[in-house]
Structure 1
Amino acid sequence: VVHCADGRQETFNLVVGADGAWSRTRPSVSSATPHYTGVTYVESSLDDVDDRHPGLARLIGDGSVAVYGVNRALVAQRNSGGHVKVYAQFRAPLDWHAGLDLADAEAVRSSLLKRFDGWADPVLDLLRRTTAFVHRPLYVLPVSHTWSHVPGVTLLGDAAHLMPPLGAGANLAMLEGAELAEAIATGDGDLDGAVRAFEVRMWERAGRWASITAAGLERLVSPDPAEALAVFDHVQPS
């Protein structure tokens, strides 16, 4: 039974919690809650980068640029239509912004520029040219998050296996949605059995990727910037 915000109640054969990091469905099957990794992202963006910021466009190139320092990094990633996402990444207490108004873009910018003091001007321009900032502390669920099966309820995506945003979580969520649908559609009518089998497959794969991404985050935002570069040392130019 799903209780809606407007007071309605709806009954379903299966409720799939695909509602993200702070899932309202998760407590139905698990007492686990996300915990802070010690790493914070502050997200900002650039629009029309090729026309308005040609120097930064050259720095970012056709894909992305990442610059690593001691326990911090600056990453810029192209999206579509000349839009670029910029992420300041650093290790800090969860309350690092105490006394700072996160809605005050100039105050946030000043704080970040102090944190990255001494970095090259072209890199710092990634912070100087942006217009707004969004605080995104990174939370994760336990690497091997599982639960005792509950008939009629399951989870997928971040609701089931929240992990560092290193390219796995969203792809897993899409794959799991397809796999769960296929398991139900091609099953013999045993809905509960299909969901149980799906969960076991999901847990095994998600646990493996949660471990990989947790180790990756430790190396990418590290006291030794060489650790970050070593993550990519197997990638050869084509």
Structure 2
Amino acid sequence: MNTTPTPRIAIIGAGPGGLTCARILQRHGITATVHDRDAGPAARDQGGTLDLHADNGQIALREAGLLDEFFRLARPEGQEMRQLDPAGTMLFHHVPEPDERYKPEIDRGVLRDLLLNSLQPGTVRWGHALRAVTGPAEGPRHLHFTDGTTVEADLVIGADGAWSKVRRAVSPATPRYTGVSFLEAWFHDVETRHPDIAELVGQGGAAAADGERGLFAQRNGGDHIRVYIIQRVPADWITAGRLTDDGIRALLLERYRDWSPRLRRLIADNDGAYVDRPIFALPVPHVWEHNPTVTLLGDAAHLMPPLGVGVNLAMLDAGELALAIAHHDTVDEAIHAYEKTMLPRSTEMARLLDGAAEGLLSTELPDFATAADH
């Protein structure tokens, strides 16, 4: 970018999208600061495992100069997929070829560390929870954080996820509940403590559904398995029912009473508390009037049901936005070029996945191996 002075770029959100954008900008000699609400990189669990696809997520990692390191850290064996019926009978089994690299798995925390460690020291400012974006559309913008501090920026990039505060500067849209909810259950030291579950799930994922209920179990790194219990329930079903973990377990065992005892272990033998994850999505299409100083990427721009596209699209968005900034003379031109590609692509994908959360319960399962990209 050839503007003078150099634009001040603020990225909100230190997830894969925001960090990828910062990394690629830095490779092109452009400074950006990432602000994140977490107190630090180890402030919370980063979630389960992701499959990064050759035609989007891996493209971004190549632009970031991190693809070889990704393959060193990833688990190609995680591409294994098993589809079962509620009786536990195997209906489908995909075993990846030894050199299969289309969508290897990597734990979210490992991917985040890979990206964080690639950035210049001080790039990420932790403990910065955004409250609001103010200032005229032509800039400069003012970022107001909950700790009372304010930062001025010429470009604000919203990489702050489903409940984006940056989104409010360009769009009134808010996510809506899809009617389908995930309940996450964790299993640790599975080869020793849960060998039967380890054998059932294999090295990748195992799925089953009966039209009303579903399960998706997925191997994570470090001898862990996460299970996603999928139901059509009110978003507040746990709080409204005042359910404790024991109450949740008893209710689930009743709801899945006709399933095989082996599959029922996936909902009852978990280590620790359940994690409630109701599925939200933005209205389709989600577009906004061009703004010369604010843009969005990833879930902030196009939150969709968790069917394997979320992180991949966020990273592709991030790469394309960073390259647009590097290759155009002004921020305004860069945003125009980026959104000209990103908005039609995300609209097309969102239309394909609109209502697809219901498909997670179908006995005619799609590529269920991607369902935990949440």
Same fold (TM over 0.5): yes
Partner of 2:297 in structure 1?
156
What's the offset of the Cα at 1:90?
A: 0.9
How is 1:158-173 mapped onto 2 (pairs within 5 angstroms)? Answer: 158-173=299-314
Partners of 1:9 and 1:132 in 2: how far apart? 38
For residues 171-203 of structure 1, the C-alpha deviation after alignment (integer angstroms, 9 at most, x for no partner) is 11111111111110111x121011012112111
For residues 187-226 of structure 1, the C-alpha deviation after alignment (integer angstroms, 9 at most, x for no partner) is 1x1210110121121111111222233354232224xx2x
What's the offset of the Cα at 1:55?
A: 0.8
Secondary structure of the structure 1 residue equivalent to 2:322: helix
Partner of 1:236 in structure 2?
none
Aligned length: 225
- Pick from 242, 262, 286 the counterpart of residue 100 of structure 1: 242
Partners of 1:93 and 1:9 in 2: how far apart? 39
* 1:100 and 1:108 in contact (8 A); partners too: no
| Aligned: 1:62 with 2:203 | yes
Partner of 2:330 in structure 1?
190
Partners of 1:214 and 1:60 in 2: how far apart? 29
If the length of structure 2 is used for normalisation, what is the TM-score? 0.58
Partners of 1:59 and 1:213 in 2: how far apart? 29
- Pick from 179, 182, 188 the counterpart of residue 47 of structure 1: 188
Partners of 2:263 and 2:347 in 1: how far apart? 36
How is 1:2-41 mapped onto 2 (pairs within 5 angstroms)? Answer: 2-41=143-182
* 1:39 and 1:89 in contact (8 A); partners too: yes
Secondary structure of the structure 2 residue equivalent to 1:185: helix
Provide closer, same or farther for how the CA distance between residues 198 and 122 of structure 1 changes in structure 2, counting only shifts above 3 A.
same
If the length of structure 1 is used for normalisation, what is the TM-score? 0.90
* 1:141 and 1:162 in contact (8 A); partners too: yes
Seq. identity, %: 46
For residues 117-142 of structure 1, the C-alpha deviation after alignment (integer angstroms, 9 at most, x for no partner) is 21100000011210310111100001
Partners of 2:367 and 2:234 in 1: how far apart? 28
- Pick from 267, 270, 276 the counterpart of residue 127 of structure 1: 267
What's the offset of the Cα at 1:232?
A: 4.8
| Aligned: 1:145 with 2:298 | no
Secondary structure of the structure 2 residue equivalent to 1:11: strand
Partner of 1:218 in structure 2?
358
For residues 2-43 of structure 1, the C-alpha deviation after alignment (integer angstroms, 9 at most, x for no partner) is 011122211111000100000011110000010000001001
In structure 1, runs of 5+ residues without a counterpart are 234-238
Letter in 2 for 1:218: E
Partners of 1:196 and 1:221 in 2: how far apart? 39
Secondary structure of the structure 1 residue equivalent to 2:217: strand
RMSD of equivalent CA atoms: 1.5
Secondary structure of the structure 1 residue equivalent to 2:173: coil
Letter in 2 for 1:62: Q
Partner of 1:110 in structure 2?
250
- 4+ long deviations beyond 4 Å: none
